Structure 1
Amino acid sequence: MCGRYAVTADPATLAAELDAIDETEPDEVRVGYNIAPTSTVAAVVDRHERSDDAPEDATGDVRRRIRAMRWGFVPVWAKQIQSGPLLFNARSESVATKPAFRQAYSRHRCLVPMEGWYEWVPQESATRSRPVKIPYFMSRADGQRLFAAGVWSAWRNPDDDHVLLSCAVLTTAAAGALARVHDRMPLMLPPNHWDQWLDPDASAPDVLLTNPGEEFAEQIDVRQVSTLVNSVRNDSPKLIEAVSSSAAAGSDSETLF
Structure 2
Amino acid sequence: MCGRYATTTDPGRLAVELDAIDETEIPGDSGARGSASVAGEDADTRRDDRRPGVNYNVAPTTQILTVVDRHTHEHPDDTPSRRIRRMRWGLIPHWTKAAEPGIPVKGRPLFNARADKAATLPSFRDAVKYRRCLVPMDGWYEWLVEPDPSGPGKGKKPRVVKHPYFMSHPDGSRLYMAGLWSVWKDRSLDDPEPLLSCTILTTDAIGDLTRIHDRMPLPMPPERWGAWLDPDHPAPADLLEPPSEELVAEIAARPVSPLVNSVKNNGPELLASPGDAAEQTTLL
TM-score with structure 2 length normalisation? Answer: 0.80
Report deviation, 1:247. Answer: 5.8
Gap regions ≥5 residues in structure 2: 33-51, 99-103, 154-158, 280-284
Does the CA-based 8 Å contact 1:30-1:39 persist in structure 2? no
The alignment status of 1:105 with 2:128, answered yes or no, reads yes
Q: Which residue of structure 1 lines up, in the alignment, with residue 84 of structure 2?
A: 66
* Pick aligned residue for 1:78 from 96, 100, 108: 96
Q: Which residue is 1:6 aligned to?
A: 6
Higher helix residue share: 2
Q: TM-score, normalised by structure 1?
A: 0.88
Cα deviation for residue 233 of structure 1 reads: 1.2
Q: Equivalent residue for 2:186?
A: 157
User: Structure 1 residue 133 and structure 2 residue 162: aligned?
Assistant: yes
Q: Quick one: distance in 2 between partners of 1:145 and 1:82?
A: 34
Is structure 2 residue 176 aligned with structure 1 residue 147? yes
Instruction: Name structure 1 gaps, 5 residues minimum.
Output: 249-257
The reply on whether 1:119 has 2:142 as its aligned counterpart is: yes
Name the CA shift for 1:33/1:246 in 2 (closer, same or farther; >3 Å).
Answer: closer
Q: 4+ residue stretches of structure 1 with deviation over 4 A?
A: 26-30, 244-248
User: Relative to structure 1, is the Cα distance of residues 84 and 246 closer, same or farther in structure 2, using a 3 angstrom cutoff?
Assistant: closer
Identity of aligned residues (%): 52
Distance 2:148 2:60 in 1: 29
The letter for the 2-side match of 1:133 is K
Q: Where do 1:198-237 residues align within 5 Å?
A: 198-237=229-268
Matched residues, number: 243
Per-residue Cα deviation, 1:181-218 (whole angstroms, up to 9, x for no partner): 11100000000000000001111111111211322232
Deviation per CA, 1:108-156, whole angstroms, max 9, x where unpaired? 0000000000011222333474212111000012221000000000100
- Which range moved further: 119-128 or 176-185? 119-128
Q: CA RMSD in A?
A: 2.2
Aligned to 1:96, the other structure's residue is in SS state helix
SS at match of 2:171: coil
Name the structure 1 match of 2:49: none
1:76: how far off?
A: 0.4
**Does the CA contact (< 8 Å) of 1:92 and 1:170 recur in 2?**
yes
The 2-side partners of 1:242 and 1:213 are apart by 28
